[in-house]
Chain A
Amino acid sequence: MSNKTKLATVWLDGCSGCHMSFLDIDERLVDLAQLADLLYSPLVDHKTFPDMVDVTLVEGAVSSEEDYEKIQKVRAHTKILVSLGDCAVTANVPGMRNPFKVAALYERAYHENAQLNQQIPVQVIPPLREMSVPVHQVVAVDVFVPGCPPSADTIFFVLTELLNGRKPDLTGRTRFGA
């Protein structure tokens, strides 16, 4: 294994737009690859989270039981945890269901709006928790990067700072809903 920074990215309850914005870094990804190895991510094929990672970017709110268990495992195996994007930072669009009861959501999604096989899934699809919450309401977060999604430039800046051992100061770079 090289001496490069160990990087991971995780996708919880989000639209994958933050990961798309990460890919939008384009050719600068080559520069980042000189500094870091991507060990775990929806973009690579590893199935289990590594023992210890230096930096993990988390996209998405904590909405399901799977998200809830996953984020705690990720936190335990990550040095610097980054909430990437508005869903991770504020719960954003996933959180818009919070004023409703989960049973009402299932009813709307799997009965009212389904024409075939009306049934609430009990296998494969993880059950929803009562509330969809920001990552920092479940585990400690080290760096917050608001934005929907944060721009590729913002993500590149955050990673460059972190990979060079600095804590990124995002003042004036991104905002809620950006």
Chain B
Amino acid sequence: MKRSQIITFKIDGQDIAAREDETILELARQNGIRIPTLCYLESVTPWGGCRLCMVEVKGTTRLFPACMTYPQEGMEVSTVTEQLTTYRKQVLDLLFAERNHVCSVCVSNGACELQGLAYELGMTHVGVPYLNPSLPLDASHPYFGLDHNRCILCTRCVRVCDEIEGAHTWDVMGRGVDARIVADLNQPWGEAISCTSCGKCVQACPTGALFEKGKSVAEMQKRHEFLPYLALMREGRDGDSEQ
């Protein structure tokens, strides 16, 4: 399937010329319009799970995830409204309350995308009671650690491991509030034989859930700018090229 018709539509009043096969989020980014997101990662399949990139479209009361919605001719999209800001803060409220995000003692303090969004949206406190779950930390891997206390289940690690590294070490087990990231068949990470120790999951993780061992508070900087290049280089290797 190849669509390449050029259409025009609007994001926040700005005229945008677009190919039909680009999402609203991608087009916004290309045009310098920032839409908050936590689960989107350039170069891997969008998941639409975090609900932070929800946008309004004129003519309907339904909200759309920008990372999974394609524009249509004449569409008018709003990315910042009072309603959207309220919903985004509610999403952050629930994320902070669901696990134990203690920013002050986190390896990713100062470089965390969750913390950064709370700052950006002017969040001053969490409005719902904290769940304070008892969660483990997996330090069985020789180079990396997984702290479930900081995980927001964005599944970036799952997708980057499956789609770019091709190992599919990570997956999600359980449902709802009991959902957990698991390595292989719910084994300690260090015993997961499919793991190549490439570390892409660590770099893709938006919080301090995945980290390099030896990094202390506020020392963990994530870099995933290289992933799109890697994805581009590997395109077509599995025979799934569009050509």
Residues of A within 8 A of B (CB): 83, 86, 89-93, 95-96, 98-100, 131, 133-134, 136-137, 141, 144-146, 148, 169-172, 175-177
Contacts and interface: CB of A to CB of B under 8 A. Distances in A.
A90 B109 contact: no
Interface in B94-108: 96, 100-106
Contacts of B96: 90
A148 B104 contact: yes
B100 to A, nearest CB: 7
Contacts of A146: 124-125
Given A96-B100, A96-B102, A148-B103, A91 B130 contact: yes
Contacts of A98: 130, 132
B125 A134 contact: yes
15 contacts: A89-B125, A90-B102, A90-B126, A93-B102, A99-B134, A141-B125, A144-B124, A169-B122, A172-B122, A175-B103, A175-B118, A176-B104, A176-B118, A176-B119, A177-B110
Given A176-B118, A177-B104, 19 more contacts: A90-B125, A90-B126, A90-B130, A92-B104, A93-B104, A95-B102, A96-B100, A96-B105, A99-B134, A133-B129, A133-B130, A134-B126, A148-B103, A175-B119, A176-B101, A176-B104, A176-B119, A177-B106, A177-B109
A98 B103 CA distance: 16
A86 B104 CA distance: 8
B90 interface: no
A95 B132 contact: yes
A169 B122 CA distance: 9
Most buried by B among A98, A133, A136, A176: A176
Interface of B: 96, 100-106, 109-110, 115, 118-119, 122, 124-126, 129-130, 132-135, 218
Contacts of B132: 95, 98-99, 131
Contact of B133 (A89, A92, A99, A176): A99
Contact of A177 (B100, B103, B125, B130): B103
A177 B102 CA distance: 8
Nearest to A169: B122
A145 to B, nearest CB: 8
A144 B101 CA distance: 18
B84 to A, nearest CB: 16
Nearest to B122: A171
Contacts of B102: 90, 92-93, 95-96, 177
Contacts of B122: 169-172
B109 A95 contact: no
Nearest to A96: B102
Nearest to B217: A177
A98 B124 CA distance: 22
Contacts of B130: 90-91, 95, 98, 133-134
Contacts of B105: 93, 96
Nearest to B116: A175
A169 B144 CA distance: 39
Contacts of A95: 100, 102, 130, 132
Most buried by B among A92, A141, A169, A175: A175
A58 B119 CA distance: 21
A169 B132 CA distance: 29
A29 B48 CA distance: 50
Contacts of B118: 175-176
A27 to B, nearest CB: 28
Contacts of B129: 133, 137
Contacts of A171: 122
Given A98-B132, A148-B104, A175-B115, A89 B124 contact: yes
